[in-house]
Amino acid sequence: MNERGFDYDLFVIGGGSGGVRAARVAAEHGAKVALAEEYRMGGTCVIRGCIPKKLMMYASSFRDHFEDAVGYGWTVGETRFDWSRFIAAKDAEIARLEAVYRGLLAKAGVQTFSCRATIVDPHRVRLAEGAELTAKHILVAVGGRPWMPDLPGIEHAITSDDIFHLEEQPKRMLIVGGGYVACEFAGIMNGLGTQVRQFYRGDQILRGFDDDVREHVADAMRGRGVALEVRRDIASIEKTDKGLRVVADNGETVVVDAVLMATGRKPHTGGLGLEEAGVELGPGGRVPVDQWSQTVVPSIYAVGDVTARVELTPAAIREGQAFADTVFGGRPTPVDHSVVPSGIFTQPEVGTVGPGEAEARADCEVEIYRSRFRPMLNILAGRAETMLIKLVVRASDRRVLGCHIVGHGAAELIQLAATAIGMGATKDDFDRTLPVHPTAAEELVTMRSPVAQ
User: What is residue 2's predicted lDDT score, i.e. its pLDDT?
Assistant: 56
Q: How far is 22 from 14, CA to CA, in rounded Å?
A: 11
User: What is residue 20's predicted lDDT score, i.e. its pLDDT?
Assistant: 97
User: What is residue 5's predicted lDDT score, i.e. its pLDDT?
Assistant: 87
Tens digit of pLDDT for each residue in 134-192?
999 999 999 999 999 999 999 999 999 999 999 999 999 999 999 999 999 999 999 99
Main-chain phi, psi angles of 370, to 5 degrees: -140, 135
Instruction: Tell me the C-alpha to C-alpha distance, in Å, between residue 47 and each of 61, 92, 97, 361.
Output: 21, 11, 9, 39
Tens digit of pLDDT for each residue in 289-333?
999 999 999 999 999 999 989 999 999 999 999 999 999 999 999
- Is 437 assigned a catalytic role? yes
* Domains delineated in the chain: 8-145+266-327 (3.50.50.60), 154-263 (3.50.50.60), 348-446 (3.30.390.30)
Q: How far is 270 from 267, CA to CA, in rounded Å?
A: 8
What percentage of the chain reaches a pLDDT higher than 70?
Answer: 99
User: What is residue 1's predicted lDDT score, i.e. its pLDDT?
Assistant: 54
How many residues in total does the chain contain? 453
Active-site entry in 268, 404, 408, 437: 437
Main-chain phi, psi angles of 99, to 5 degrees: -65, -35
Tens digit of pLDDT for each residue in 399-438?
999 999 999 999 999 999 999 999 999 999 999 999 999 9
Tens digit of pLDDT for each residue in 36-68?
999 999 988 899 899 999 999 999 999 999 999
User: What is residue 308's predicted lDDT score, i.e. its pLDDT?
Assistant: 84
Exposure pattern of 397-411 as b/e (b: 16+ CB <10 Å)? eebbbbbbbbbbbbb
Tens digit of pLDDT for each residue in 248-289?
999 999 999 999 999 999 999 999 999 999 999 999 999 999
User: What is residue 291's predicted lDDT score, i.e. its pLDDT?
Assistant: 94
pLDDT, averaged across the chain = 96
Residue 224 confidence class, pLDDT cut points 50, 70, 90: very high
